[in-house]
Structure 1
């Protein structure tokens, strides 16, 4: 079913893992896809896979922490594929493991730069054209530590919680112009990031729970997030704009519950009702 026919999607971090599956699903559903990442060979392979399935895609080597690089990429995307309808920010970094006094300050800040600043850059580059056209959807991937403490992953967690708040702020700013923003937690997926956590000495020392979760059978297929994001791109979950959706969600059940979620002001970063009364 080509539910995204005649649309244009941008997927960052699209060279492997979750991002590759998101890009392929967007193409399967009819979108023309711009695949962005820093490693050319990986995004070219993603494009080859999409083209092998009959889709259309282009690969752009981009450093999301460099705004001029991001801006140039969006100019090229508009020229080669057309105006962007869907932006999926899947890029991510998680290299600083351990208590803050053991983390390399450069690694800790680099996680924040890639995750948070990179998302700000792409949102800034994409949103003006979306606003001018009166439509568009932006999906920002979050993850562990977004809504709870993650002591030995503080840089990653801080950046992902900030992306959640950025998503809320962005949506509240653009929703009146027809542009909606969503946060998606794909769940625990075997990826290059988790493999590094499993194999590195710091990961083994400070994040043993990751291996335990995999041993217990927790391993979310990336197709779940990809299918969810395709539904978001198609407008199925517009009621939940500004809120968190999860790869593990039953999409049919979520659709039935989404008005209740909004009524309860759920799936958002909030103080409790009692705490708000004290502010």
Structure 2
């Protein structure tokens, strides 16, 4: 069976866990040579091990996406695999903690802006340089359903995720004449070890906030990433795709 991304290379930031790891596995399963980037070598190595155990090809690079020179290095490393960069998922980010606006930590907000805004901006800056030169490519930015609606206690997070959507739309318009598509995925709550550790009542309350009545699996978000990167979405660019069980429906 032909694999969708055979002969293509992909970069996944924040690829050491959660949605990033699930997406790296899904892209590799479709034949891509995947480079996972992040700050923790051990988790990145585990992602590479899992991909290779399933017959895929992967590498890792330790990089902090708030550091411009490290972002440039990570993108170059991903492109060096086959001499081009075809796909990118900018997934690394920070969601912070519940705090009312009047009590919101300035340090937490600054860290959130550094990762969610500056980090995504820098990633696209260097990914696009490679893709424009080759005249093709697809980028997915991992935003959030919180970027589409208001969420009490997370004003900083919603602001940065809305900023990611705005950057996606603007950059998509710039990139379209070069044959490059840029889209965002906006998940609802996703089942993670942190969510799994919550008490049954609290977990049920979070699930009930989604009209479909449950929390997403990371692989369900990864499926959306794969579709947006694929030729099946060849006429899709500049969108913010909710994958949130109806959470953001007005």
- TM-score, normalised by the number of residues in structure 2: 0.89
Give the Cα separation in 2 of the matches to 1:89 and 1:74.
Answer: 11
Residues 58-77 of structure 1: CA deviation (Å, up to 9, x unaligned):
01111000010011112222
Shift of 1:156: 0.9
Q: Distance in 1 between matches of 2:204 and 2:112?
A: 21
Aligned to 1:152, what secondary structure does the other structure show? coil
TM-score, normalised relative to structure 1: 0.80
Give ranges in structure 1 of 5+ residues lacking alignment: 200-207, 250-266, 268-279
**1:187 partnered with 2:188:** yes
Cα pair 1:142 1:164 within 8 Å, conserved: yes
Measured against aligned partners, the alpha-carbon deviations of 1:219-267 in whole angstroms (never above 9, x if no partner) come to 1111112122112211212323101223358xxxxxxxxxxxxxxxxx9
Partner of 1:232: 228
Distance in structure 1 (CA, Å) of the matches to 2:141 and 2:105 = 26
C-alpha distance in structure 2 between counterparts of 1:34 and 1:137, whole Å: 15
Q: CA RMSD in A?
A: 2.2
Q: Which residue of 2 aligns with 1:253?
A: none
* Residue of structure 2 in register with 1:117 after alignment: 118
Displacement of 1:3: 0.9
Could you tell me whether the CA contact under 8 Å between 2:145 and 2:244 is conserved in 1?
no
Kindly indicate whether residue 58 of structure 2 is the aligned counterpart of residue 62 of structure 1. no
How many angstroms apart in 2 are the aligned matches of 1:248 and 1:101? Answer: 28
Q: What does residue 244 of structure 1 align with?
A: 240
SS in 2 for 1:169: helix
From the CA coordinates, give the structure whose radius of gyration is larger.
Answer: 1
Q: Select the structure that is richer in helix.
A: 1
For the 8 Å contact 1:4–1:29, the answer to whether it is kept is yes
Instruction: Quote the offset at 1:194 in angstroms.
Output: 4.8
Q: 1:211 to 1:100 in 2, by over 3 A?
A: farther
1:212 aligns with 2:213: no
- Call closer, same or farther: CA 1:232–1:177 in 2, change over 3 Å: same
